[in-house]
Amino acid sequence: MKNRNDFKQSVPYVLLFIIMIGIVLFYNLSRFKVNEFTYDQLISEFSKSTVKEITITPKNSSGVYYITGKLKDYSDTESFKVNVPLAETVLERVMKYADNDNIKVNTNVNPESSSFVAIIVNVVPTILLIGAMLFILTKISGTNKNSMDFGRSKAKLSQEAEAHFSDVAGLVEEKEEVSELIDFLKNPKKFQKLGARIPKGVLLVGPPGTGKTLLAKAVAGEANVPFYYISGSDFVELFVGVGASRVRDMFKQAKQSAPCLIFIDEIDAVGRQRGTGLGGGHDEREQTLNQLLTEMDGFGANEGIIIIAATNRPDVLDPALLRPGRFDRQVTVSLPDQKERKAILEVHARNKTFDKSVSLENISKRTPGFSGADLENLLNEAALLAVRRNKNSIGMAEIDEATDRVLMGPAKVSRTINPEEKRLVSIHESGHAVIGLKLKDADEVHKITIIPRGVAGGYTMMLPKEEKISIATKTQLLAQITGLLGGRVAEELYFGEITTGASDDFKKATKIARAMVTTYGMSDLGPVQLEHPSESVFLGRDYNSKSQNFSDTVALEIDNEVRKIMDECYQNATKILKDNKDLVFLIADTLVERETITKEEIDELVATGKLSTVEEYVITEDEEVKEENSKKSNKKNKKEDSTKEKEK
């Protein structure tokens, strides 16, 4: 396929080169003017003394001489020729005229050499010049080898199956939804027999990293059919009409390979709603979308072509793209639950060596909200840490560190923290932890650390007590707000000062409180949605719409309700922390001493008031350097002592 395309692309250049050579040859040959003379005319010109030079050549063995030459008034490209009998008297007469007029006489053995040399001298340099120009033009356009084919499709054909359903962990319901496509591609008569129409398009919707592209590859691998893949941004170009041409060419290629699959990744790049631009609607992107709509379900029929598209922004897609007959089915690829996370971890753990203490099930329980890409990154970071620490296997210490890296960034162990700041951060994080421990509906505390990561001076990892769907009660939301305010309350109660460390906590808490009032209807204003849950503005669609769907009076009531929720949660956090003062200081003191405490140690502190277990010690890079320097120093001291003893 590739060689055939390369041949087609080179044909215009070859034809252009042949035409140019023909033009050059015709031009050069037409320049030479040769006058036919008789013997009498030649003698007449000799008698007039107008002959400038002659060339005498025997014309093989035919018994004549072939004489060419130039007259004095001829140009460089004009000459005459004459055939004379092969006789001594004739030749003597010609030579006599030449001697009398001092005419230049040349003799030539090969009669064809003169014209051949003339052609070589005049034509070859021109051909070489044209060839050099074509070579330079080819090099200039080398950065875009397909410059003559900018209207061709950029969809790539996958020759081999890159994935199968066995490579897609979890997504049980999603795989069932797309399995019908595989059955249709393998046995279409089974569906046609009952009059069933297979979906022409399937739209995969979900957050980034959940496996939409991998699922599309698995469908192509299971069906064992040609698989074309392209990104939505590959259609859009500067010039209007190029994208539409590429869409036509893509479907033309797909028809030749039908039955086949076409996968369009990030379709929102080309499928956004029409008529929402500020500068008019007749642009390149809309032309491309119009052509895509026509190809999917227009006057023509595309039998055997199934389109799979992926996006994480279905709200901005054009309604015509989502209607039945185009994308008939939408499959939501959501974040994995605990069972699916374990299956994903097992897939990514195939080529890794783990310590016996590592449990993938425990890791899956500690990573709610992680996507498949996050889990793969987690195990990869753990493997890199194990290599950095010169270990033969991946242990739980590397898993814990990798989890923190994915969530918050690398630890800044080299940063110097003064004792007062360290005490402040420990009290702040202890306030969060005590709220999580003592409040009934709060999330469970799994880890507390005061080691800086990213922009945070420390953090408290709180995870749901059990896996649940994306529905939260009012009590749970209030518990989240109370837990977020626990850090500021602890600072105010037990440090005697408030700091800027709670700014991000306030941001999250205020966002939850405002959503309770304006979106979820969990306030005295009643079950009314006053604001849209989406924060991003679709420029053009939302530009001229009002920023709020309520009056100024209602806006004041919203502010009062948000403040009321925040004040109630703040008072509740104050009461809990006052009632558990000893626990706050116990956790804070332990953090100052150890910097990081785990869930097991937290449970032991709550139960017994002290830690009896010995914490597993993990050597960091800086500590490794210190230890190595210490060993070198000890060796040096021993060597010096032995030298002194010998001298004595």
Q: Does residue 531 carry a catalytic annotation? A: no
Contact 44, 58 (CB under 8 A): no
Q: Give the integer Cα–Cα distance in Å for 298 and 247.
A: 14
Cβ-contact 312, 207 below 8 angstroms:
yes
Q: Do 508 and 460 contact (CB within 8 A), yes or no?
A: no
Cα–Cα dist 566/532, whole Å: 21
Q: Tokens 């107008």 label which residue?
A: 50
Residues 501 and 428 sit within 8 Å (Cβ to Cβ): yes
Q: DSSP string spanning 66-106?
A: EEEEEETT--TTEEEEEEEES-HHHHHHHHHHHHHTT-EEE
Helix (H, G, I), strand (E, B) or coil at 597: strand
- Using the CB atoms, write b or e for 230-246: b if 16+ within 10 Å: bbbebbbbeeeebbbbb
Only one residue has tokens 């909200």, namely: 369
DSSP assignment of 160-228: S----GGGS-S-HHHHHHHHHHHHHHH-HHHHHHTT----SEEEEE--TTSSHHHHHHHHHHHHTS-EE
**Other CB atoms closer than 10 Å to residue 644's CB: what's the count?**
9
| Catalytic residue from among 222, 381, 429, 595 | 429
User: Which residue in 319, 325, 107, 296 sits closest to 197, CA to CA?
Assistant: 325
Instruction: Provide the sign of the torsion angle of the four alpha carbons 259, 264, 268, 271, taken in this order.
Output: negative
Name the phi and psi angles at 597, rounded to 5: -130, 140
Q: Which residues carry out catalysis?
A: 429
